[in-house]
A and B are shown apart, each in its own frame.
Chain A
Amino acid sequence: MDNTNTLDNTSDWTFEKLESYHAKIKQVAQSYRLDTYPNQIEIITSEQMMDAYSSVGMPIGYSHWSYGKKFIQTQQGYHRGQMGLAYEIVINSNPCIAYLMEENSMTMQALVIAHACYGHNSFFKNNYLFTTWTDADSIIDYLVFAKKFVSECEEKHGIEAVENLLDSCHALMNLGVDRYKRPTKISLHDELLRQQEREQYLQSQVNDLWRTVPKSGPKDELLKKHFPSEPQENILYFIEKNAPLLAPWQREVIRIVRKISQYFYPQKQTQVMNEGWATFWHYTILNTLYDDGFVGEKFMLEFLHHHTNVVHQPAYNSPYYNGINPYALGFSMFVDIRRICEEPTEEDRHWFPEIAGSNWLDTLHFACKNFKDESFISQYLSPHLMRQMKLFSVTDDSDLNYVIVDSIHNEEGYRAIRENLAKQYNLSNLEPNIQVYDVQVDGDRSMTLRYYPHQSIPLGDSTDQMLKHLHQLWGFEIKLEQEMDSGEYETLATCPKHAK
């Protein structure tokens, strides 16, 4: 064998070996046109990995008891052998920070470098959700700011006060994101809102002026303005801007939680794609290294062992079945797209006329850039893959005492399965749709929220506690209404509770 070309294949890693593997991987990745942020690769111990776990993977964050709880849970699970730790954590920042665990063998480190530093990294840099929603350049600085700000607040206002506020914010974190608005419009929207606020302020001054003057005519109810003029889905944002009693520091804390939630929002929407993309590339890159003779069979066997573990999809009746494995689905889809491009069948030509036979690399990069899980699946899930995974769709209507198989992987079922699977990744179907509907601006300042059920799925049992959190932030009465099938609205709960 040519010694100058092969990489050292002993299983212990050293920094020199990491460098040489990384150089090769980088070379291969660039040959596939993977465009990445610069990499910052950090070697950490398993204890540090647990720290990283409990702080949702961020290298720095403000202090909160819930992270302590998560840490204790992780630590216990790990010490008792109930769970392993992930091989890697990667952070969407510029430079892109990836953690490697020191326990990993050299093969694992190579896998992780290919997976995280080139797979995830290029996804972060190119996918439209990440480029529009997150700012990789500033996230670390922002987290530093947040940590400092929160600890200053703790000094000034006491740990208790800050903790209570954060509890409430964390509870509403999922409702602190803009789902449909585009961030470019946010500034415009902000401007409009500020303008509105100024208007309201003036209005209130005007009202005060007029209040002392005897009313001359009958009050025109029709002129009464509805506030907010349109229902608001970003509840934290609404509270931050409109809650009457909050101090400025409290608004800033809400803003911090909201920003962090927004930062993670794209990750929630692209789990299948992101993991699939990274898995596809570690698989492709390491295989290229093997084909070019840089690594040997020993390396490949260890790598394939881990790889197959990662992309294993248990069947629905397996005791290990826990939903669809995003790694497996994503990886299979990207492999399948490549197959459609390189060796299209008649069926593929019929289903995917625009990509069958095209350049696979171009097609893959296009897919990476322009989709999220939902749209990715409805665009690219092929009949071939549905047959391979033996997908079937089940409808569970709580009014019936059985569930119905409504489609299987056959000609009539392909479209329905594809549609249902795509919906399964649509966050707006999974998270309850709750919006701020009305605030009694000139009444008792109570806030009315409306829940719009998706396919008549009711709200979970946390509702009462959630209203308490909302009440704490808003400071006045909270009402939650649900839209019934009849189109009418029924009050679900209020806080503080009224004796009715």
Chain B
Amino acid sequence: MAHFIDRRLNGKNKSSVNRQRFIRRNKAQIKKSVSDAITDRSVTDVDTGEQIVIPKRDLSEPFFHQGHGGIRERVHPGNDQFQRGDKIERPPSGQEGQGSGEGDASDSGEGKDEFSFEISRDEYLDLLFEDLELPNLEKKEVSNIEEREIVRAGYSSVGLPNNINIIRSLRKSQARRIAMSGSKRKELRVLEQRLSELQPFGDDKETEIVQLKNDIESLKEQIAKVPFIDDFDLQFNNYISQPCPSSQAVMFCLMDVSGSMDQATKDIAKRFYILLYLFLSRNYKKIEVVYIRHHTQAKEVDEHEFFYSQETGGTIVSSALKLMHTIQQSRYPAHQWNVYAAQASDGDNWADDTPLCHKLLEENILPNVRYFSYIEITNRAHQSLWDAYEKLTEKRPEFAIKHIKEIADIYPVFRELFGKQQAF
């Protein structure tokens, strides 16, 4: 006997485990592709996955097979010209009649040199930020967060007409109607039974039949009078507002654009910002980015100007910190936003300004942010700003500084900053 089974609703991702295994096995390669890909991306471009290319030889599944050479006899169809004893030039590449003998060989040996495939956005981010975690995530408790969201909370008997739950309401209405008319229906059935028994006798029971008919009539009326729907049948979808952890974050990018910062240095900074943005986007639904660049004055700019316009002049870091504080206070209150900041600089600053920076950070900025990272991109010795910041790191766990010398340092430094075992 045959059974038809509809499997279409079963999961289609039966192979996802194996796919994960495949990715796991080739992790080294894939990770390399992933970190290379960082370079080519815009800061906020995180919605796409990534094309991964793996050299074919790493994927081969070898098996013993026959090589070329030796004597082979093959039968082919469609002879249109050959006679016995004909000598034919050997077809190129020895592929003549690639019949069942080498049927499975395509995976190894010749063929494409590379195996390329696409990983999804989530896989991409997972690989990129494996073993990393957001610092200070647990500090902000739900109680002091003012963001609330509306959630379904069962049903209630009062509410607005547009929230009526029709199924529930009709269900109650039916239950009520059954309950209220139950005894009368029973009575009705008895009477109707009696009536049908009496009908054959016709005239003999005339009066009783009339009486019965009247009773039935009145019972039916009573039943019909039970209202189809009543006020207390109504059920409304209930919504309540609930405090929820803030799912929005703002990321401040601060960068020195004074004459001493060249394009190469800015590129390094850009990559760091991309990483930070990607990393935040894995944890927050909504992220805004504020770009602040500064030389002696600070200015809020868009992404393109931030990275690609050149300025000259000296450097006053505190101007940027002040601007950041102002923007944060007015637009991104700390109880609603998770504030992250990353500052990149080559370490130059007016010596007089450095104590002010220290003070601004400690008193105004750090209390309001989740994490503030400072990276110094330079090949020279550290200057006063680094020393002042270094002191601060000892006191404030949400503040971290790192030194980057060249592009290759970025990813390791980033991992160090956000590594799981970070003992703050």
Point out residues on A near B: beta carbons under 8 Å: 15, 18-19, 22, 26, 38-45, 47-48, 50-51, 54-55, 63-69, 71-72, 76, 95, 99, 102, 117, 159, 163, 167, 170-175, 271, 313-318, 321-324, 389-398, 401-410, 412-413, 417, 420-421, 423-425, 430-432, 434, 453-463, 465-466, 469
Are A391 and B8 interface neighbours, CB within 8 A? no
Nearest CB in chain B: distance from A373 CB, A: 10
Are B79 and A408 interface neighbours, CB within 8 A? yes
Are A65 and B25 interface neighbours, CB within 8 A? yes
Are A39 and B2 interface neighbours, CB within 8 A? yes
Nearest CB in chain A: distance from B15 CB, A: 4
User: CB < 8 Å: which of A54, A167, A175, A324 contacts B75?
Assistant: A324
CA distance A417 to B86 in the complex (A): 15
For residue B76, which residue of chain A has the nearest CB? A316
Are A72 and B96 interface neighbours, CB within 8 A? no
Q: If the complex has contacts A390-B79, A391-B75, are A465 and B62 also in contact, measured as CB distance less than 8 A? A: yes
Q: Which residues of A contact B7 (CB under 8 A)?
A: 42-44, 48, 99
Are B66 and A391 interface neighbours, CB within 8 A? no
User: CB < 8 Å: which of B15, B64, B77, B83 contacts A389?
Assistant: B77
Are B75 and A64 interface neighbours, CB within 8 A? no
Task: Answer whether residue B4 sits at the interface, using C-beta atoms and an 8 A cutoff.
Answer: yes
**Contact residues, B99-127 vs A (CB, 8 A):** 99-101, 105, 108-109, 115, 117
Nearest CB in chain A: distance from B180 CB, A: 42
What sequence of 0s and 1s flags, for each residue 77-103 of chain B, a beta carbon within 8 Å of any chain A beta carbon? 111101111111110000011111100
Q: Which residues of B contact A421 (CB under 8 A)?
A: 75
For residue B116, which residue of chain A has the nearest CB? A76
A-B contacts, 29 of them at CB < 8 A, read A18-B4, A22-B2, A26-B2, A40-B3, A41-B4, A41-B5, A44-B8, A50-B15, A55-B18, A63-B18, A65-B21, A65-B22, A68-B21, A71-B22, A163-B21, A315-B80, A324-B77, A390-B77, A395-B71, A396-B97, A407-B84, A408-B83, A413-B84, A453-B70, A458-B68, A460-B66, A460-B105, A462-B65, A466-B62
Nearest CB in chain B: distance from A460 CB, A: 4
Are A462 and B64 interface neighbours, CB within 8 A? yes
Q: Which residues of A contact B74 (CB under 8 A)?
A: 393-394, 396, 420, 424
For residue B52, which residue of chain A has the nearest CB? A72
Q: Which residues of B contact A271 (CB under 8 A)?
A: 100
CA distance A128 to B167 in the complex (A): 61
For residue B83, which residue of chain A has the nearest CB? A408
Indicate the member of B2, B6, B12, B75 with the most A CB atoms within 10 Å: B75
Nearest CB in chain B: distance from A260 CB, A: 15
Q: Which residues of A contact B2 (CB under 8 A)?
A: 22, 26, 38-41, 117
Are B25 and A54 interface neighbours, CB within 8 A? no
**7 extra interchain contacts, Cβ-Cβ under 8 A, other than A41-B3, A394-B76, A458-B68?**
A22-B2, A42-B7, A67-B18, A322-B98, A394-B88, A401-B89, A462-B62
Q: Is the interface of B mostly helix, strand, loop or mixed?
A: loop
Are A396 and B72 interface neighbours, CB within 8 A? yes
Are A71 and B19 interface neighbours, CB within 8 A? yes
CA distance A465 to B79 in the complex (A): 40
Nearest CB in chain B: distance from A168 CB, A: 10
Q: Which residues of B contact A461 (CB under 8 A)?
A: 67, 109
Point out residues on B near A: beta carbons under 8 Å: 1-8, 10, 12-15, 17-25, 59-80, 82-90, 96-101, 105, 108-109, 115, 117
CA distance A259 to B345 in the complex (A): 64
CA distance A155 to B15 in the complex (A): 19
Q: Which residues of B contact A22 (CB under 8 A)?
A: 2, 4
CA distance A395 to B72 in the complex (A): 6
Are A170 and B61 interface neighbours, CB within 8 A? yes
CA distance A457 to B78 in the complex (A): 27
Q: If the complex has contacts A391-B76, A402-B89, are A15 and B70 also in contact, measured as CB distance less than 8 A? A: no
Nearest CB in chain B: distance from A115 CB, A: 14
User: CB < 8 Å: which of A315, A458, A469 contacts B66?
Assistant: A458
Are B59 and A69 interface neighbours, CB within 8 A? yes
Q: Is the interface of A mostly helix, strand, loop or mixed?
A: mixed
User: CB < 8 Å: which of A65, A398, A425 contacts B68?
Assistant: A398
Q: Which residues of B contact A54 (CB under 8 A)?
A: 15, 18
Are A171 and B100 interface neighbours, CB within 8 A? no
CA distance A437 to B105 in the complex (A): 27
Indicate the member of B24, B82, B89 with the most A CB atoms within 10 Å: B82
Are B88 and A402 interface neighbours, CB within 8 A? yes
Are B5 and A42 interface neighbours, CB within 8 A? yes
For residue A413, which residue of chain B has the nearest CB? B84
Q: Which residues of B contact A47 (CB under 8 A)?
A: 12-13
Nearest CB in chain B: distance from A458 CB, A: 5
Are B19 and A68 interface neighbours, CB within 8 A? yes
CA distance A317 to B1 in the complex (A): 47
User: CB < 8 Å: which of B1, B96, B98, B109 contacts A38?
Assistant: B1
Are A48 and B8 interface neighbours, CB within 8 A? yes
Q: Which residues of A contact B75 (CB under 8 A)?
A: 324, 391-394, 417, 420-421, 424
CA distance A323 to B5 in the complex (A): 37
Nearest CB in chain B: distance from A13 CB, A: 11
Are A72 and B19 interface neighbours, CB within 8 A? yes
User: CB < 8 Å: which of B70, B84, B97 contacts A457?
Assistant: B70
Q: Which residues of B contact A50 (CB under 8 A)?
A: 15
Are A323 and B69 interface neighbours, CB within 8 A? no
Are A457 and B72 interface neighbours, CB within 8 A? yes
Q: Which residues of A contact B115 (CB under 8 A)?
A: 69
User: CB < 8 Å: which of A15, A67, A173 contacts B63?
Assistant: A173
CA distance A221 to B378 in the complex (A): 76
User: CB < 8 Å: which of A45, A408, A456 contacts B12?
Assistant: A45
Q: Which residues of A contact B70 (CB under 8 A)?
A: 397-398, 453-458
User: CB < 8 Å: which of A39, A323, A394, A420 contacts B98?
Assistant: A323
Q: Which residues of B contact A453 (CB under 8 A)?
A: 70
For residue B20, which residue of chain A has the nearest CB? A68
Are B3 and A405 interface neighbours, CB within 8 A? no
Q: If the complex has contacts A389-B77, A469-B62, are A394 and B87 also in contact, measured as CB distance less than 8 A? A: no
Q: If the complex has contacts A173-B63, A456-B71, are A68 and B82 also in contact, measured as CB distance less than 8 A? A: no
CA distance A22 to B89 in the complex (A): 53
Closest 3 CB pairs of A and B: A315-B78, A457-B70, A68-B22
For residue A381, which residue of chain B has the nearest CB? B75
CA distance A478 to B69 in the complex (A): 25
Indicate the member of B6, B15, B90, B117 with the most A CB atoms within 10 Å: B15
Q: Which residues of A contact B66 (CB under 8 A)?
A: 430-432, 454, 457-460
CA distance A165 to B71 in the complex (A): 36
Are B64 and A434 interface neighbours, CB within 8 A? yes
Q: Which residues of B contact A64 (CB under 8 A)?
A: 18, 21
For residue A406, which residue of chain B has the nearest CB? B84
CA distance A54 to B67 in the complex (A): 27
User: CB < 8 Å: which of A66, A393, A425 contacts B73?
Assistant: A393
Are B77 and A466 interface neighbours, CB within 8 A? no
CA distance A404 to B89 in the complex (A): 9
Q: Which residues of B contact A455 (CB under 8 A)?
A: 70-72
For residue B23, which residue of chain A has the nearest CB? A68
Indicate the member of B80, B86, B96 with the most A CB atoms within 10 Å: B86
